Amino acid sequence: NVKMVTKLLLLMFAICRLIVTVGLTVDPAGLLRMGVDGQLSVDPADMEAVSTDFGLLGRTEPMAVLRPASAEDVVRLVRTAFNGFTVSARGHGHSINGQAQTSDGVVVEMSHRSGSKKAAQPQVSVQEMHVDVWGGELWIDVLRSTLEYGLAPKSWTDYLYLSVGGTLSNAGISGQAFNHGPQISNVHELDVVTGKGELLTCSEEQNSDLFHSVLGGLGQFGIITRARISLEPAPQRVRWIRVLYSDFSTFTMDQEYLISLHQKPSNQKFDYVEGFVIVDEGLINNWRSSFFSARNPIKISSISASGGVLYCLEITKNYKELSSDTIDQEVESLLKKLNFIPTSVFTTDLPYLDFLDRVHKAEMKLRSKGLWEVPHPWLNLFVPRSRIADFDKGVFKGILGNKTSGPILIYPMNKNKWDHRSSAVIPDEDVFYLVALLRSALDNSEETQTLEHLTNQNHRILKFCDDAGIKVKQYLPHYATQEEWVDHFGDKWAQFYERKMEFDPGRILATGQRIFKPSF
Ligand code: FAD
């Protein structure tokens, strides 16, 4: 049992390091005696796995990693940590800037729950149309479980290998958000372990301050161990359409028209509205989905684009196989109201699961070419509707040049689908756009694809918005100083701060967000 002894020694060593580094007031063997049902590890491989994230922009090694077996394990850890070391929940590590990392504490690997598999399964209530899931559950597994009952969550992210706790700590948005709101608008109840080590159930009615704080709360108030998510009957198939525009204002007018239909009956609106910017021909088949097949090549050069930029509207209509005879008509009558380039309609049809899981296919392809695990200096912005045309001129037709190094998404959302009581921060306009610059940096390539070039470009974009008075808000925000955070939260800061002091007074949670420093 040499392996066991080595592990134990390593664990003791890490704990001593923890104590020396942060000057713990905790009993040296406190962590060891904590007696978790899951697994507390200092195995170099486990530590390495949580030291980086999808962004690959930095590396921070924690003191130890906990794979909890239950919410009680999280409680035990937080109680031991209180006023001594930090605790960072890690969902699937798909942040960009180390938000789930910590150097002076323990990372809780929420999506590697150890122990009973059965207890970890999502629990669907067909009658109540909701599902109870573990906070570290991946959305792909939530979907698979609910589909067994013919049900599905209503609001999505484009990519499903993200954890429930991770997306609910931000907002969780995709093309359904104009209609159903972000994922944080589709949660009934949460179990949360606060920074004081209390396990509390919260909802609109119960512990409502905690409930609203945690949603979009960047992990600052507690660790979500269970979420109750609203469901709807699952469609079986999806009609997926892309159309092109060369004129930005026609494109945004159509997008805004489509999202204004949110109150119409489902046969009179699309179910998903997104879009992307094409500044460079290669990107029509971007990594997020190879939509246009080789047999259906699109000659972008044959379409005259103003300023060399094209815009692609992406829409879908869900349907049940039984209603397949009416789907053509419904789509046709909606398309008639739009003003895209008439020869540019591209349509495909696929099962609901395949549509929702579309980015995973692209991931597999990129992985096989060694292009997935590369640095991702992503920038996500919410841009107020009133300034989106200025953003187009200054950024898409200006700063970006004619190479983008990754997809650029753009789609509008309705503010009234967001609960202002949540911690999420959005622009103060009825309609605002997500602009997502999802770029990959490559070594040994053209200068325009280097990490340095893309990072500089991001700074230029933010400076351009600042100089032009475009009041953007970062989505998945990343700032280095508390002043910037205060500015980001604006009116919400005072409450955000007050609730932090209430639920995590030691400021030990999710320090990787760099909003608060621990009090010890
Ligand atoms: P992590 O990166 O592990 O954690 C993120 C933050 O949440 C950390 O601060 C962490 O401490 C905290 N946290 C994690 N789990 C919990 C928990 N259980 N309780 C409390 N706090 C917790 N976002 C969208 O909205 N829409 C998209 O379409 C979309 N597509 C994406 C596609 C890709 C390929 C990638 C890499 C990201 C995408 N994202 C999208 C962003 C994604 O939603 C966020 O990065 C999210 O935080 C990732 O979830 P995660 O489980 O990996 O979280």
ipTM of the complex: 0.99
Cα 10 vs. chain centroid, distance in angstroms? 34
**d(Cα 213, Cα 421) in Å, to the nearest integer?**
8
Looking at ligand 1, which residue's alpha carbon is closest to its atom 31? 159
441 in Cβ contact with 454 (< 8 Å): yes
**d(Cα 425, Cα 444) in Å, to the nearest integer?**
38
Find the helix or strand (DSSP H, E) in which 166 lies: helix 164-168
513 CA closest ligand 1 atom index: 9
Share of the chain above pLDDT 70, in %: 86
* pLDDT 10s digits, 217-249: 999 999 999 999 999 999 999 999 999 999 999
pLDDT the model gives residue 118: 47
Find the helix or strand (DSSP H, E) in which 71 lies: helix 71-81
357-to-55, 118, 330 alpha-carbon distances in Å: 21, 24, 24
Closest residue by Cα to residue 105 from 61, 147, 43, 72: 61
Residues with a catalytic annotation lie at 94, 158, 274
172-to-152, 156, 186, 396, 409 alpha-carbon distances in Å: 15, 7, 10, 25, 15
53 CA closest ligand 1 atom index: 2
Share of the chain above pLDDT 90, in %: 81
Q: What tokens appear for 23 in the block?
A: 């000057």
35 in Cβ contact with 76 (< 8 Å): yes
DSSP 108-143: EETTS--S-HHHHS-EEETTTTEEEEETT-BHHHHH
**225 Cα to the center of ligand 1, angstroms:** 15
> Is pLDDT at 283 greater than 70 in this prediction?
no
Q: Is the CB of 99 under 6 A from ligand 1?
A: yes
Q: Return the HEC string of 292-315.
A: CCCCCCCCHHHCCCHHHCEEEEEE
Q: Residue 361: pLDDT band by 50, 70, 90 thresholds?
A: very high
* pLDDT 10s digits, 310-345: 999 999 999 998 877 899 999 999 999 999 999 899
- Burial code (b: 16+ CB inside 10 Å, e: under 16) for 37-56 equals ebbbbbbeebbebbbbbbbb
Phi-psi bin for 435: left (phi > 0), alpha (psi -120 to 50), beta? beta
**d(Cα 337, Cα 314) in Å, to the nearest integer?**
15
DSSP alpha helix (H) spans, 336-477 = 352-356, 358-368, 388-391, 451-467
Looking at ligand 1, which residue's alpha carbon is closest to its atom 42? 167
* pLDDT 10s digits, 98-150: 999 999 999 999 997 666 554 578 999 999 999 999 999 999 999 999 999 99
Closest residue by Cα to residue 436 from 468, 460, 412, 471: 412
pLDDT the model gives residue 295: 44
**d(Cα 101, Cα 95) in Å, to the nearest integer?**
10
Choosing from 163, 272, 276, 376 the residue with most ligand 1 atoms within 8 A of its CB, the one to mutate for a pocket test is: 163
pLDDT the model gives residue 26: 43
Q: What is the mean pLDDT of residues 146-155?
A: 98
> Is pLDDT at 285 greater than 70 in this prediction?
no
**d(Cα 74, Cα 285) in Å, to the nearest integer?**
43
Look over the chain and give the mean of its residue pLDDT values, rounded to a whole number.
91
Looking at ligand 1, which residue's alpha carbon is closest to its atom 27? 157
